[in-house]
Amino acid sequence: MLVLDGKIASAAVKASLLQKTQAIKAAGKRTPHLAAILVGNNGASETYVASKVKNCEETGFGSSLIRFDDHVTEAELLAKISELNVDPTIDGILVQLPLPKHIDDEKIIEAIHPDKDVDGFHPMNIGRMVQGFDTFTPATPYGVLLMLEHFNIQTKGKHVVVIGRSNIVGRPMSILLSGERPQGNAYVTICHRHTPIEETKKMAQQADILIVAVGIPEFITGDMIKPGAVIIDVGITRVEDATAKKGFRIKGDVNYEQAIAKASAVTPVPGGVGLMTIAGLLMNTMKAYEGKFYHN
């Protein structure tokens, strides 16, 4: 059984990016720069953004963390995004989701210039992805592709089952894997909250590669896994645990112990897809820096 270790795969991505930034620095040029906007003080969001900033530093990128409190207005956020959109020293912009309820996520995402949309959420970039054009691939599905590539996991002709259909994980994942690309050419089944559970279970049991992004801890148990399958667990849920130092533990969507007894390869949580999401984000930031690929 192979542990699909996100530390190993993301270190390889980061090492190749660091090589590039060192060459950029040696040439006396400015390195890629990511601006991250964080609203409020949600514990999980704080952790994610801090980790993104730290990873930028490790890769030789510049980064700016721009904080707003929970009461920020939509207009104030939009004004900041407009400013960053035209700032020539900023290559990538990300707005950490979720945002407070009084702010329209969609409006914010659409305000980010598509050339700086390193999370790959802008409808223009999603449209390009669907058509198989060069674009910013949404960071989490991109991270999964980088993981599959790193561990040389073949997808061509394989049955991939994706559970979850969100715009940021499940749906783009299913589109990418069914597309004509190196980590693609799979035939894909997608299950979601309206799939009868017995059907989801049946599909999961037939998956050569099972990708789970539902946000329900240990949703996938050993009996739902085909022997020898590859299991990609995207889920990250904080589960209260008084015995843990921080008062919670991070749980994935897959029962890890049961999965490793059945599968040929499994991503751990934490230490799996989460780290690859950051790798995807860094790759996109370098891409944004390297050129406006729209107009090539």
Q: What three-state secondary structure class fits 37?
A: strand
Token look-up 């945002």 returns 99
Among 165, 226, 262, 287, binds ligand NAD (CB under 6 A): 165
Residue 262: active-site member: no
Name, in order, each residue with C-beta under 8 angstroms of 157's C-beta and a sequence gap of 6 or more. Answer: 185, 186, 187
**φ/ψ of residue 211, rounded to 5:** -115, 120
Among 60, 92, 164, 268, binds ligand NAD (CB under 6 A): 164
Q: Interface with ligand NAD by CB under 6 A: which range of 70-78, 82-90, 176-184, 191-199?
A: 191-199
39 belongs to the binding site for ligand NAD (CB under 6 A): no
193 belongs to the binding site for ligand NAD (CB under 6 A): yes
284 belongs to the binding site for ligand NAD (CB under 6 A): no
For the CB of residue 149, give the shortest distance to ligand NAD in the complex, in Å. 17
Q: Of 238, 140, 141, which is closest to residue 186 (Cα–Cα)?
A: 141
CB 205 within 8 A of CB 197: no
For the CB of residue 161, give the shortest distance to ligand NAD in the complex, in Å. 11
Residue 226: active-site member: no
At what angle are helices 6-26 and 139-150 packed, to 10 degrees?
100
- Sign of the four-CA dihedral 202, 214, 109, 289: negative
Q: What is the DSSP letter of 190?
A: E
168 belongs to the binding site for ligand NAD (CB under 6 A): yes
Residue 287: active-site member: no
How many alpha carbons fall within 13 Å on the CB side of residue 242? 0
Which one from 14, 91, 96, 115 is the annotated catalytic residue? 96
Nearer to ligand NAD, 193 or 246 (CB): 193
For the CB of residue 218, give the shortest distance to ligand NAD in the complex, in Å. 12
Among 170, 172, 184, 268, binds ligand NAD (CB under 6 A): 170
Nearer to ligand NAD, 84 or 144 (CB): 144
